[in-house]
Structure 1
Amino acid sequence: MQTLVRPEHFPALDSLQFQTPTPALIPSALRIVALGDSLVYGYGDPEGGGWVERLRRSWMDPSQPGHALYNLGIRGDGVNQVLQRLDGEFRNRGELKNRMPDRILLAVGLNDSARLGKSDGRNFTDFSTFSLALETLLDKAQDYCPVCFVGMVPTDPDKMPFLDCLYYSSLDQYRYKEATRIACDRRQIPYLDLFDLWLARGEAWWKRRLSSDGLHPNSLGYAAILDDVKTWGALPQFLA
């Protein structure tokens, strides 16, 4: 025989004690989109899937809700490609209706610095074109939400050319990354200068953290990037 539960069996609402969670107990999870090239995508790291993926996994413990991080890196992308993707990628990663992402993480510029066909060939993206597109990208991104930028790592010139046609060099990398750093600084966008940070640790150190192609970090390299990102002084404020 089925016993029916009637409304009178429930206590009156005014007799129940409700406790409002304090702000400290309410998780402030953010929706973050990571836009960029293979450094965002994580190519070269079959173990952890790259530093963005490693960071994403660290925020996936159900007992300690973390931020939602979307990896939107595409191998081979330059600044113009990321600029073209920005609006659509941002507007389609809100998770909930009418909710846009809370933060944008950018990492691009290495492919733009490459020289085509020979070591003194033209850059993949002309420097003046790169500078203009980069400033447009930063301005547009800032119109949406707070932004931070993770710079490129050094490449090994002894392993060039990449794919038998692309030549990367420290001189070109420095020029493009400095333009990026300065543009970010003007806009008060946090910039993590991995290029200078890695070079300061010595050639033997950073070369051990590159894949055999001399271009992409290996698993050890991506683990190092994750450590650099997590110990970056600007990160807590970016995630606040």
Structure 2
Amino acid sequence: MHRIWHQLRRRPLKERIYQALKVLSTQHRKLQQLIARLQERDKELFNSCIMAKTWNDELHAVLYANELAELRKLIKTVMASSLAIEQVILRLETIEQLGDAMVQLGPVVKIIQGLKGQLTNIIPEVAIELDNVNKMLGSILIDIGEPRVTEVVASEEALKVLQEAEVVAEQRLKEKLPELPTPVIEKIPIATSAAATVGGDTLEEKLLDYIKRQGGELVVSKCAADLKVPPQDIRRVIEKLASEGKIRIA
């Protein structure tokens, strides 16, 4: 890959921009495909949540609703990244048409850097390709001698683009996906007998203690982070405690 970028660096600006556009367009398609898969999963979880509520199975309804909430955060991030890449593509197309870098590349580099950070843990292969594009654009900046004094302005403009993309993504998410069923937050009153064992080493005991300290309310994602265990383990223990009658879902 390094050899390819080194060879590209010796090519005319317009051709190098064209190569960057090809890579970005491919990554944009990958993000769109990921969004489609995530939205399909959203539909499945939503239907499962509705079905659980229909059967008055509040425990599973709450679990599905919380999973939906986490999934939609992920969809929002990917959608915002996709929108930001669209903005980058538009800017590079303008540069390509002009045949020079009259439109500054600095903000583009900063935007791609931000996107790489957002996507590294979500879809690593896209993050890697964005890093390669950034290296290529960085070499163009060196060749054309774009002033370093523009870096602060570039960072501000990049941040603005990323923030605007996030706002638009949130709006589109609300338009496309149905509203989450309630409750999204588990409210778990503790049975009197359950409060007797506190401070033990097992996850069940820690969870019961945690619920008591939270005043009988539990948010799975926050609880998992506080207890430093995977969310699925929290859900598993909740189901077990509920089946044993140690807790009940309000």
The structure with the largest helix share of the pair is 2
In the superposition, the TM-score normalised over structure 2's length comes to 0.21
The structure with the largest strand share of the pair is 1
Structure of larger gyration radius: 2
